Copies of this chain bind each other. A is one copy, B any other.
Amino acid sequence: MAAPTIDVVGIGNAIVDVLAQADESFITAEKLAKGTMALIDEDRARALYERMGSGLEASGGSAANTIAGIASLGGKAAYIGKVADDLLGKVFAHDLRATGVRYETAPLHGGPATARCLILVTPDAQRTMNTFLGASVEFQAGDIDRSLVEAAQVTYLEGYLFDRPLAKAAFRQAGEIAHKAGRKVSLTLSDPFCVDRHRADFRDLIRGHVDILFANEAEICSLYETKDFAKAADAVRGEAEIAVLTRSEKGATVITAKDQVSVPAAPVARVVDTTGAGDLFASGFLYGYTRGKDFAHCAKLGALCAAEIISHFGARPEVKLKDLAAKAGLA
């Protein structure tokens, strides 16, 4: 088996974010579930955009954010995901390549527009996401670049892909290619509602097919239908080889069949926007993992990257994470 030439390849929905501040009253009036992600169609996207405040456009997509973070840490990273042949698609591709990520998925011609996510950030820094999936779910098995997946030490998959059957099939296929090549498969559960929609499928997939699972407290509790984090943590033990459970300001816990390691959250002067916190935690953890660091080191690096991303608007790093890691003695 050849040594991997790429650290992590991410597969996910290729999305451009539109971030705007919103009052709590706006969230209520629009009947949104704060802190979660809702799928919306193009008409709803147009109407909601009309009513929301002045925005910032920035490349997003959960796995793409993670991959951009890995590149910013100095890792070799690649991405597979579908945009349309339009302006936002060009912005998405530019931003990813500009961070040093290998991104070669062919854009979609003549179909829906590039996916966008309308993100409302409330004064408590929570983000409420409304996604029009557009071209991102026209993604299918043929878009999986087998040689990329075989060359990557870790293939990282976002749970959001489960929302469409074609993407889900491509997702399973990527996992199989990776394992056949002797590589690792990582999955993030993405959102508690996403887990709700696909609970049985996720449980099946995790048992035996996922080596490194990422989930936050709400997601892991949803997966095992409990309100008790300790019970959920017990339930996941041994299901995935490594389960990385993030708990916002309560830090993170890494669980394996025999072991459990917890690290605190990294300090943040002012939490501005929590968009991308989980995505960037995964960047730090996976970068450390592909460098052979121990779990505590990996989780501390994850916490450091998450702290950077929540200190400003948007889900892509504003500083070179490699420098940040070096300063913190975690390079």
Contact = CB atoms under 8 A, between A and B. Distances in A.
Contacts of A312: 312-313
A98 B53 contact: yes
A58 interface: yes
Contact of A54 (B20, B55, B57, B68): B68
Contacts of A54: 59, 68, 94-96, 98-99, 316
A229 to B, nearest CB: 33
Contacts of A68: 54
A255 to B, nearest CB: 34
A91 interface: yes
Contacts of A59: 54
A54 B57 CA distance: 12
A87 B113 CA distance: 11
Q: Classify the interface of chain A: helix, strand, loop or mixed.
A: mixed
A53 B313 contact: no
Contacts of A319: 21
Contact of A95 (B55, B88, B99, B316): B55
Contacts of A88: 87
B53 A56 contact: no
A50 B59 CA distance: 15
Interface string A297-316: 00000000000000011101
Interface of A: 20-21, 49-50, 52-59, 68, 86-88, 91, 94-96, 98-99, 312-314, 316, 318-319
- Per CB-CB distance, the 5 closest pairs between chain A and chain B, nearest first, are A57-B57, A54-B95, A54-B98, A53-B98, A87-B87
